[in-house]
Amino acid sequence: MGAKSEPSAIVSELTLLQERDGWLSESGLRDLAARLRLPLHRLESVSTFYTHFRRSPPEERELAVCRDLPCALAGGEGALARLSEREPGLKLREVSCLGRCDRAPAAQLDDGGIELDLSRGESRPLAARTAGPWAAELYSDRAEHYSTLRSRLAGDPAACIRELEDAGLRGMGGAGFPTGRKWSLVAAEASEPRYLICNADESEPGTFKDRQILTDLPHLVIEGMALAARSVGARRGWVFIRHEYAPERRRLAAELERAYAAGALGRDIFGSGFDFDVDVFVSPGGYILGEETALLECMEGRRGEPRNKPPFPGSKGLWGQPTLINNVETFVHAAGILSRGAEWWRGLGRGEFAGHKFVSVSGDVERPQVVLVPMGTPLGELLDFWGGMRDGRAPSAVAPGGASSNFLGADGLDTPLDFEALREAGSMLGSGAAIFVAEGRDLTEVGLNVARFFRNESCGKCVPCRVGSHKAVALVEREGVNPRTRAKLEELDATLSETSICGLGQVALAPLLSLLRGAPE
């Protein structure tokens, strides 16, 4: 079969064209179509799907402002109004989560990577903000970096997978699929070549832990990728990273350079005979690309619309070849387990729980930030340890796994951070993003904010999600919450969750309903 080894040129060509002209003009697109020998509709379809691409000339100065939950809770609207007054020449554009909920309300000026801190009313160049030290760091000295990889290259690849299975590591991107099993499925595929992708397209409101990891522990991400590649027999890998993460991308690029220089990537890694190359693929934008098959579609130069599954990427992924896709954090923990052993990992958790977890804490809290806590830590402790709720208010609800997780009431704060425990409590761990909502908030508005996010980010491929997410929001906006609309929302929720192609549609209405169900009729 004609398996190709390079991501499609379409996305990068469009990016280059936009960098050249500032936007994608009709004549520019026609020339590009002729050069790439593509039908015009292909460029139309791709260029209008991704938020990064402009089909009209840009405004002089444009401020992208996040409208999603943590930023809304941080008073984004009021801050915006003040800013427009002060700078009338500024064009404001509402966008989805920028992955900077720790500095909510988040905003970004132009594409140039200027960050505007609305709460303080000042702007400064976007820079990666380091934190830590992190308990996940394996090395006390930079010279030791990649030593796990060096030692593991000598051993049996299957032993790595067994180690992960023993540890019980699960995917940290949201779905929680057992990592060892995922690796073994790809390793068992007969087809060559096989690919590996690190999913750094973190885009869900309340989620920004991968950004912190890429800033502070990029060497562990790369080491985890190389270990995974060796385990599954992949020789090419990509970090798929959102375009808004420019500073993190620079950190990553620098670390990749270091890794190549150290012989930890490239040909004949550490003299083992094993080759593995890593490139960075910059996402042209959209929450849906975090869905792994949408991500693949994007890399293949199409609209980022999730595929019907099965087949799963492990058997038919990029260009139809077996592809291992893991989250940034998963690679870090995999490196940890392969360095220190399953026993170490299991001992990190509290009580019967295994491992630790990076959690993004945001919302109505005093100091939104990323924390690394043992698995099993009760949700409420996330507040106790890091400054508590903003202005000392009491929490009324928390979404423990980001915008896609159901809200738990104050009575859910005892629930331990754990895949199963949170599922039993009616929510989920997701990617580990606790959004706290303070008492006194209009919970319908909170739920509606989340529903709007999914509506805005629906790719539009399947009917239930495309139409259902839109109609549900319109219904509440138009008629409010009453017994008829409640019943209709329940019906829509069932339809979306049971018939949508991907997780986005399946959960689109659930957080809203979780809040409505908790509220009195």
- The residues that touch other proteins, with contacts defined as CB under 8 A, are 2, 26, 29-30, 37, 39-45, 48-49, 286, 303, 308, 310, 455-464, 466-471, 474-475, 478-479, 488, 491-492, 494-495, 497-501, 506
Q: What dihedral angle (degrees, nearest 10) is formed by the CA atoms of 403, 406, 408, 413?
A: -60
CA 382 to chain centre: 21
Q: In angstroms, give the least distance from the CB of 459 to other proteins.
A: 6
Closest approach of Cβ 206 to other proteins, in Å?
A: 21
Cis peptide leading into residue 511 (ω within 30°): no
Our CB check for other proteins shows the closer of 147 and 495 to be 495
Q: Residue 2 or 89: which CB sits closer to other proteins?
A: 2
Judged by beta carbon, residue 430 or residue 468, the one nearer other proteins is 468
| H helices present in 341-415, as ranges | 342-348, 381-385
Q: How far is the CB of 282 from other proteins (least distance, A)?
A: 18
**374 Cβ contact list (under 8 Å, min separation 6):** 348, 349, 350, 353, 355, 356, 357
Give the chain's end-to-end CA distance (angstroms, integer): 59
- Distance CA(373)–CA(135), nearest Å, equals 9
- Please state, in angstroms and as integers, the Cα–Cα distance from residue 234 to each residue in 160, 237, 240, 336, 479, following that order: 14, 7, 16, 20, 53
Handedness of CA 461, 467, 469, 470 (dihedral sign): positive
Least distance (Å) between residue 291 CB and other proteins: 14
Instruction: Tell me the pairing of strands 122-125 and 114-117.
Output: antiparallel
Closest approach of other proteins to the CB of residue 444, in Å: 17
CB of 422 to other proteins, least distance (A): 17
Nearer to other proteins, 40 or 159 (CB): 40
Q: Which is nearer to other proteins, 156 or 479 (CB)?
A: 479
Q: Which is nearer to other proteins, 224 or 301 (CB)?
A: 301
To other proteins, the closest distance from the beta carbon of 310 in angstroms equals 7
Rounded CA separation 442/447 (Å): 9
Among residues 412, 339, 405, 348, the alpha carbon closest in space to that of 380 is found at: 412
Pick 50 or 238: Cβ nearer other proteins = 50
Between residues 45 and 84, which has the closer beta carbon with respect to other proteins? 45
Q: Which two tokens stand for residue 311?
A: 């087949």
Least distance from C-beta 466 to other proteins, angstroms? 6
Token pair belonging to 144: 């030791």
Q: Provide, rounded to whole angstroms, the least separation between the CB of residue 518 and other proteins.
A: 22
Given the complex with other proteins, which of 249 and 470 has the nearer CB atom? 470
71 Cβ contact list (under 8 Å, min separation 6): 65, 97, 101, 104, 105, 106, 205
**Quick one: which H or E segment has residue 363?**
strand 356-363
Chain mean position to CA 83: 29
d(CA 35, CA 198): 31
The CB-of-67 to other proteins minimum distance in angstroms stands at: 15
- Specify which residues 91 forms β-bridges with: 62
Q: How far is the CB of 305 from other proteins (least distance, A)?
A: 9
- DSSP notation for 248-283: HHHHHHHHHHHHHHTTSSBSSGGGSS--BEEEEEEE
CB-nearer residue toward other proteins: 151 or 308 = 308
In terms of CB distance, is 2 or 88 closer to other proteins?
A: 2
